[in-house]
A = this chain, B = another copy of it.
Amino acid sequence: MTPTITAFESSPDRAQGLARDMRVRWALEEAGQPYEVRLVSFKAMKEPAHRALHPFGQIPTYEEGELALFESGAIVLHIAQRHAGLLPHDANARARAVMWMFAALNTVEPPILELQTAKFAEGDKPWSAERLPLIKDRIRARLDDLAVRLGDADWLDGAFSAGDLMMVHTLQRLKPSGLLDDYPNLAAYVARAEARPAYRRAFAAQLAVFTGAHPAG
């Protein structure tokens, strides 16, 4: 059964692929699975019909027969567990790949979200400029550790996995800040992921929503 995901009807990031539907699109492309997309407006996201799917009124959601999920991490893990291409077969390696998904979402992403909140929710406050360096220091503390662990490897633990997918998408949000430029191996890691055919197909698909183009012809 072809799953249906939800995505923003109009892009808050000018279709740079930073919205969380990109994670699900990318995972489905890595797994070679077709999917349908239902676009949701900012207004509709907060209404009861959408909240029945996503209690926090956000995107993406994932519907497949009787199953309805929200949370990009949960959706990507569900796809990764059901289809080949995103998790290793060995049980221990599989647990470590899932570990990197959680590390991306719960250790690396929180200070990056703080930077976004500082800009978009508190950008007009008198403390805004003075706080930015503090937040950036907290992000750098995570990037320092991540860069050491990655070293000169291509991916975080052996072959590309759902852990890399989540980590790369989390790091991509740092591009406008320039923070990644100080970490050549992390910047190369992100670029390596972006060169994957599955990533490019997912990126084109989210871009097409906003340009009106049809990537698959």
What is the interface of chain A, defined by CB distance below 8 A to chain B?
51, 55-58, 66-67, 69-75, 77-78, 92, 95-96, 98-99, 101-103, 105-107, 109-110, 113-114, 117, 121-122, 125-127, 130-131, 134, 138, 142, 145-146, 148-149
B110 & A92 in contact (Cβ 8 Å cutoff): no
B74 & A102 in contact (Cβ 8 Å cutoff): yes
Q: Which residues of B contact A131 (CB under 8 A)?
A: 122, 125, 127
> Could you list some 5 contacts between A and B, CB below 8 A?
A55-B148, A56-B107, A74-B99, A110-B110, A122-B134
A99 & B71 in contact (Cβ 8 Å cutoff): yes
Count the copies.
2
A interface: dominant SS: helix
Q: Which residues of B contact A98 (CB under 8 A)?
A: 74, 77-78
A55 & B126 in contact (Cβ 8 Å cutoff): no
Q: Which residues of B contact A73 (CB under 8 A)?
A: 102, 105-106
A117 & B114 in contact (Cβ 8 Å cutoff): yes
B55 & A146 in contact (Cβ 8 Å cutoff): yes
A125 & B122 in contact (Cβ 8 Å cutoff): no
